[in-house]
Amino acid sequence: MLEPDPAVLDRLRRVRGLVLDMDGTLVLGDRNNQGLRPLPGAGPLFATLTELGLPFRIFTNGTSRTPRQYAHALQALGFPVSDDGVLTPASSAVDLLRRRGHRRVMVLGGKGVTEPLEAAGLETVPPLRTTRADAVLAGWFRQELTFDALEAACDAVFGGAQLYSASQSLFFATAEGRQLGTSRAITAVVRDATGAPVTVVGKPALPALRTAARCLGVATQELAVVGDDPELEVPMAHKGGALAVAVHTGIGHAQSFSDLPPERRPHLDLPDVGALADLLGGRR
């Protein structure tokens, strides 16, 4: 690992909160996001954050569970994550859909998407033909996906609904290797059929970072964003003026980040979150 720039280390010492990716950064699970196991350095990182009193939120682009269910899964691994310590694209979707005046949302996804939206007062409807909706939101919808559901989503968009996606990541990291992201696959079909643009509500969209910053009570520029995917966490950090920290335990490896144009590279490029814990230890 190269010695970090002293100016970057000084900035790291001044961050007031962290946004942490989950899969490929803190844990890995199977292709259905079950059987989570900690990745190297996760335990020491949480110990350091607790010792320093640094607040954090975990932001996963997964929507197979509700944010609270993700939190409970991480708690079961011994991580000091509060019940409201995990955010998903459903969390940031609530902020964005409300701001845009949407009230009735067709969801291609399960309770991991519908429950947070309904808890915020939004109406969710299943992907059925002739169902009216203001918006169509695609999330984790793997075994349940049918051609009829895709047709219903297309009909809703033809009828004026706006199209949203939890993520446009082609892959996500698992212990079984990279797996195809469902929301990108779904919206690719709907976009191809309808010509409608897709708005991303999860990472790397700026609204996702703003949702995390609001929950932490700090400005986006006061955050460090940590993750393994060169197309997600690092670009999101740059969009919001946050400190971008890359790790090599998931989708990305060392060359994934060093080959990026200089303006798109992470401020810190580390082997794992344990190395970040060591650097944060300098704040003691």
Cα–Cα distance for residue pair 53/7, rounded to 1 Å: 23
CATH assignment, 6-88+204-283: 3.40.50.1000
Cα–Cα distance for residue pair 32/156, rounded to 1 Å: 28
Domain 90-200, architecture per CATH = 3-Layer(aba) Sandwich (3.40)
Per-chain mean pLDDT for the chain: 94
Cis amide prior to 204 (ω within 30 degrees)? yes
Render the burial of 2-25: b for 16+ CB within 10 Å, e for the rest. Answer: eebeeebbebbeebebbbbbbbbb
Which residues, in sequence order, are bridge partners of residue 27? 23, 38
The amino acid at 111: K
Prediction pTM value: 0.94
Mean pLDDT, 10 residues at a time, the chain of 284 residues: 85 97 93 86 97 97 96 97 98 97 98 98 96 96 94 98 94 78 94 98 98 98 97 97 96 86 93 97 69
Q: Are the C-beta atoms of residues 137 and 166 closer than 8 Å to each other?
A: yes
Q: Where are the domains of the chain?
A: 6-88+204-283, 90-200
Q: Are the C-beta atoms of residues 25 and 46 closer than 8 Å to each other?
A: no
